[in-house]
Structure 1
Amino acid sequence: MVLDRGVNPNSHVSFTASHGDQLSVVPERGGLLTSWICSGRERLYLDQERFADPSKSVRGGVPVLFPICGNLPNDTLQLPQGTFHLSQHGFARDLPWQLQPLAEGEGIRLVLEDSEATRAVFPFPFSLTLDYRLEPSALGIAVTVEHRSHGEGVMPFSLGLHPYFAVSDLAAVSLEGLPERCLDHHQMAEASTASQLAQIDRGIDLLAAPTQRSVRLRDQGSSELIEMELQAPLDLAVVWSEPPRSMVCLEPWTAPRGALISGDRRLELKPGESCRLTCTYRVVQA
């Protein structure tokens, strides 16, 4: 596998598959996938000016959400080990990752392991391995979470991905495959999915549990659409827009906000256990 290093428009490492599709990643900035070129077109949105300022949260690419999705009340996590301060979406999107060759297939592997800094807010030894695999007209994603402790007790966690997809015009966007009802994150209340989507050009943030395995993002300004193929337990869908940015986030989550406290869909690993979570994004002719 050949990895190329570039500096324009930012320092990054890129990989090009034999069929021509390409990925670019910045391992030291949260393992952020900054570019996915598929069939000759850039599929991701990235605010380059904001990315250039490390003091600001990234708007673009594919941030990784771990060990929580969303936020906790007062950013506080109560565990048998004590009380910990855990910021929104956790720490994985802020820390440097290690880049490794993907042994099989065409793509890249990123690895994040616990450190003194992570154990101060999440007291578990862990390993997080993220594989991005380029397939013809698709991006396959596999995340392996391992609890590396040899002691007692379980490691609770949630995981999500936060991809920003570039669109021609928010007013021309529609989504298919979502259920009739959803959770409006702005009000933290149940709502009509259709009424939420009707406001996508004004900004929405919703979570839904699709009854089918795929959700499609359709952009009327394009002859193609993006299909998110889900597999349990990474099978909740979050849709987020932030006008005037020409992007829509179509995100797979394992659990809703606050899961580590409420227990709702909370994942747990015993010492020595691991689990594998998968999702695929596919470019489909409309």
Structure 2
Amino acid sequence: MITLTNTQFTATVNPFGAELTTLTRRQDGREYIWSDTTGKYWGRHAPILFPAIGRSNDDQYVVDGRTYPMHQHGFARDFEFTDVTQSRDDTVTLTLHDNAETRKLYPFAFALTVTYTLTVTGLAVHYTVANTSAQPLPFALGSHPGFALSQPLDQYVVTLTGAKLPLTKFGIGPVPFRNGKVEPLTAADGASLPLSHELLDDGLLIINAPDATSATLASKDGSYKVTLSLADFPYLTLWSPEHKHAPFVCVEPFHGLPDVSGQPTDWYQKPGNTTVAPGGQSDFGYTMTLE
């Protein structure tokens, strides 16, 4: 594990998947990132989703007329990021390069780099996807942090700043695929969405919010607040394990979308995907402001 520290927070990052595993406020020991010590709910913490988000039809996708296998949420979360640089106590940079195993799933040369930097208000996360191959590189990128909750889920609200109203969501069905529709988010009250397990028991909720600048998860009593900046991420997903009443919720910035239910999708044509030219790169970042 890699440890980060500054005057306000500590964090740990696992080089396997470059996954943020803890983010702790020093003054009172409050832990913001979920950890399943019981093994009942979800064994991850904040995985990186690359080069796919969600599950692919038949666990496959298409590039240039050829079909390749792809696991749910891609493969980055299941590989060691072997290139690690830590020059300061509060920052670490980790890179995953393509290798023989990734090329069986994804026929491209690439470098996926993530930098975590503790700030006085929380954490800054920056991703770079570099195309080192000779053909255009199609991908989706998402962050999947789970936030530990000390109260029942129905005591929390997610509020989007800057989003076009009324809020809309992508239709889901069958879970975990999209149904191809964009639907009203009828549970929302303006830009705010009261949370509950009933709201999420039918599967993930993907909010279509390309104009949103941030999303805040806050307790109704004012004792807890986490704000994620969203300028680089047009979609925000909410998830908690279905029908388990788990004491955490994932608030996930997405730059990409799950498949619409049907046939394997051509990634050069898939809505939500980014395509980077040979020799180019794309950068994405967000901050967690913790109160």
> TM-score band, normalised by the shorter chain?
0.7 to 0.9
User: CA offset at residue 282 of structure 1?
Assistant: 0.7
CA distance in 2, matches of 1:108, 1:81: 39
CA distance in 1, matches of 2:78, 2:68: 17
Please state whether the residue corresponding to 1:41 is helix, strand or coil: coil
The equivalent residue for 2:238 is: 239
TM-score using structure 1 length = 0.83
CA 1:91–1:267: 2 relative to 1, 3 Å: same
In the alignment, which of 271, 284, 290 is matched to residue 277 of structure 1? 284
User: What letter is aligned with 2:258?
Assistant: R
Any idea what the Cα deviations from partners look like across 1:200-241, whole Å, max 9, x if unmatched? Answer: 323351111323301111123651311111123x23111112
CA distance in 2, matches of 1:198, 1:257: 24
The equivalent residue for 1:265 is: 272
The equivalent residue for 1:16 is: 5
User: What letter is aligned with 1:121?
Assistant: L
CA 1:221–1:61: 2 relative to 1, 3 Å: farther
User: What letter is aligned with 1:271?
Assistant: P
Gaps of 5+ in 2: 260-264
The equivalent residue for 2:19 is: 32
Percent identical pairs in the alignment equals 25
CA 1:99–1:44: 2 relative to 1, 3 Å: farther
User: CA offset at residue 194 of structure 1?
Assistant: 4.2
1:1-286 correspondence runs (5 A): 12-17=1-6, 19-28=7-16, 30-39=17-26, 40-50=29-39, 59-80=43-64, 82-98=66-82, 100-103=84-87, 106-149=90-133, 151=134, 153-168=135-150, 169-177=152-160, 179=165, 180-186=167-173, 188=178, 189-195=181-187, 200-202=196-198, 203=201, 204-210=203-209, 211-220=211-220, 223-232=223-232, 234-242=233-241, 243-258=244-259, 260=267, 262-284=269-291
Gaps of 5+ in 1: 1-11, 52-56
Q: How many correspondences in the alignment? A: 263
* Greater RCO, CA 8 A, separation 6+: 2
Please say if residues 137 and 277 of structure 2, whose CA atoms lie closer than 8 Å, have aligned partners that are also in contact: yes
CA 1:112–1:84: 2 relative to 1, 3 Å: same
Please state whether the residue corresponding to 2:76 is helix, strand or coil: coil
The equivalent residue for 1:4 is: none
- Which of structure 1's runs of 4+ aligned residues deviate more than 4 A? 196-199
